[in-house]
Amino acid sequence: MVGLKKFFKISGLIILVLIIAIAIYGYFKGKVITDVRQELSRKIENFESKNSDEYMEYSVIKFNKAGDFHTGFIYLNKAVELNPLAHLGYRGWIRLRKIRDYDNALDDFDRLDDLTPDVVDAPWGEDIDFLRGECYFGKKDFRKAIEMFNRNIKNQKEDWADINSFVYLGLCEYELGNYEKSISEFQRALAQSESVCEAHFGLAKAYRKLGNTTLEKIHIKKAETNIFYKRDDPYNEYLNEIYLSEILEFKQQSRE
First-to-last alpha carbon distance for the chain, in angstroms, is: 93
Give CA–CA dist 199/226, Å, rounded: 10
Residue 54 in domain: no
Residue 241 in domain: yes
Give yes or no for a contact between 133 and 125, defined as CB atoms under 8 angstroms apart. no
Q: CA of 128: how far to CAs of 120, 147, 148, in Å?
A: 7, 13, 9
Residue 216 in domain: yes
Give CA–CA dist 132/139, Å, rounded: 11
Longest dimension (CA), the chain: 98
Q: CA of 234: how far to CAs of 166, 174, 180, 240, in Å?
A: 23, 28, 34, 15
To which H or E segment does residue 173 belong?
helix 164-175
Residue 191 in domain: yes
Strand partners, 236: 233
Give yes or no for a contact between 204 and 250, defined as CB atoms under 8 angstroms apart. yes
CATH number at 178 reads: 1.25.40.10
Domain interval for residue 182: 163-256
Residue 137 in domain: no
Task: Quote the number of domains for the chain.
Answer: 1
Residue 214 in domain: yes
Give yes or no for a contact between 182 and 155, defined as CB atoms under 8 angstroms apart. no
Residue 110 in domain: no
Residue 118 in domain: no
Give the pLDDT of residue 32.
Answer: 37
Query: How do the pLDDT tens digits run along the chain, 256 residues long?
Result: 545 555 555 655 566 556 655 655 554 444 433 443 565 577 888 888 889 999 899 888 888 888 899 999 999 999 999 999 999 999 999 999 999 999 999 999 999 999 999 999 999 999 999 999 999 999 999 999 999 999 999 999 988 999 999 999 999 999 999 999 999 999 999 999 999 999 999 999 999 999 999 999 999 999 999 999 999 888 889 999 999 999 999 988 876 5
Q: CA of 21: how far to CAs of 14, 16, 172, in Å?
A: 10, 9, 67
